Amino acid sequence: MVTNRRASLDEIRAFHAKMMAAASNSTDERLERIFELVPREAFLGPGPWQIMAYNRRYLETPNADPAFLYQNVVVALHAAKGINNGEPFLHAAWIGAASPKAGETVIHIGAGVGYYTALLSLLVLPKGHVHAFEIEEDLATRARENLEPFEGVSVIGGDATVLPLPEADLIYVNAGVSAPPSYWLSALRPGGRIIFPWQANDKAAISVLLTRSETNFSARPVMPAWFIPCVGASNSDHCIKPPSLTEAWSIRSVWLARDRSPDDSAVAIYKELWFSREAAQ
């Protein structure tokens, strides 16, 4: 039977959750449920909202109907600074690739107002914890308020490139880095993962998943990604050899320079670490 009835917000959110689960490319059945449970509008504040168009201009939604948020759209948090609540399909794919598990410790760098922090926190229940870092003071304050109902979450206002990090099973970075600081990698437990936007230069901007082994880090490019630069980790001055876009997509491992000097397999070299096209041994 054909009906012209408008879908309810619950129905819209449920369909959005199905799309996010599909975008995750994961068999984890919890992903659809968490996207359905966590209302995006509760984190973004009252509408109307500024949504980014393809030419990086913002368009204001016609009204405050939350249905506008359940699309694959980037929503402004600080439009003047280019700080946004990121693209849902991208985060679904990242969460699927990083595979947060119950009981794990997660570090979320660039937490914004805490929407994706909340999703991560549900995936590490029970007994897991998410340490959310946000350098913008007003956003950190909003994140604390938004995340108060969520178990096992702490919000740290400040620069994650200089503040100490706890040991972690997953580091989830939502700001573009020219290369991850070596002490981020050292904070990972054996088998720990870090997923981040690697913005090696203007032409090479991809997300990368690293997994720690005993001697190095296996590397897997995930998808193209561009984020606002990470304060303290986006300066390319420490880059000795930048990669081409093709070379960036070829990476298979990352080594700390203190553990092994770069060899002929190096496609990108930095003062503290280097990226190799050879698989981790």
Give, for all 281 residues of the chain, the pLDDT tens digit. Answer: 556 788 999 999 999 999 999 999 999 999 999 999 999 999 999 999 999 987 779 999 999 999 999 999 999 999 999 999 999 999 999 999 999 999 999 999 999 999 999 999 999 999 999 999 999 999 999 999 999 999 999 999 999 999 999 999 999 999 999 999 999 999 999 999 999 999 988 777 899 999 999 878 999 999 998 898 898 888 877 899 999 999 999 999 999 999 999 999 999 999 999 999 999 77
The pTM of the full predicted model, rounded to 2 decimals, is: 0.95
What residues contact 92, with CB distance under 8 A and at least 6 apart? 20, 21, 23, 24, 31, 35
Q: Determine the residue type at 39.
A: P
Token representation of residue 243: 């990669």
Q: What is the pLDDT of residue 203?
A: 77
Helix spans in the chain (H): 9-24, 30-37, 41-44, 88-98, 115-123, 137-147, 182-186, 245-249
The Cβ of residue 10 has, within 10 Å, a number of other Cβ atoms equal to: 10
CA angle 21, 197, 145 (to 5 degrees): 65
Rounded to whole angstroms, the Cα distance separating 13 from 70 reads: 6
